[in-house]
Amino acid sequence: MVEHLAMLRALGLHLIDEPAGFDDARLCGTFKRHLHEARSTLAATADLLDGSSLYRLSDEAVAAVIALRDRVHISNEPRDYHSTMTRAIDAWYAQIREHLSAAR
């Protein structure tokens, strides 16, 4: 999930800065593939995460990506998109660290 969110953060920031990138089939294909994988991962973990801040932050990140994909919020400040994506990425890293510490 972290890798998909990180790629969506990077690709999304590029698309916000260069909207002409939406005409690049390869770029958009990569963007859509990472979106699909992030949504699939979130759906697969929904029962475990439902109601948690990790689920909420992940859902907000996916919603931001979908809005960008659909060009609903194309004029958004890059920092808002970056912040939304980074909060979700940081939350996943915290969850991973917590599980690794518990496994020791």
Question: What predicted TM-score, i.e. pTM, was given to this entire model?
Answer: 0.89
How do residues 35-44 score in pLDDT, each as one tens digit? 999 999 999 9
How do residues 5-33 score in pLDDT, each as one tens digit? 999 999 999 999 999 999 999 999 999 99
How do residues 46-87 score in pLDDT, each as one tens digit? 888 767 899 999 999 999 999 999 988 655 689 999 999 999
Exposure of 99 by Cβ count < 10 A (0-12 exposed, 13-18 middle, 19+ buried)?
A: exposed
Contact 11, 31 (CB under 8 A): yes
* CA distance linking residue 37 with residue 32, whole number of Å: 9
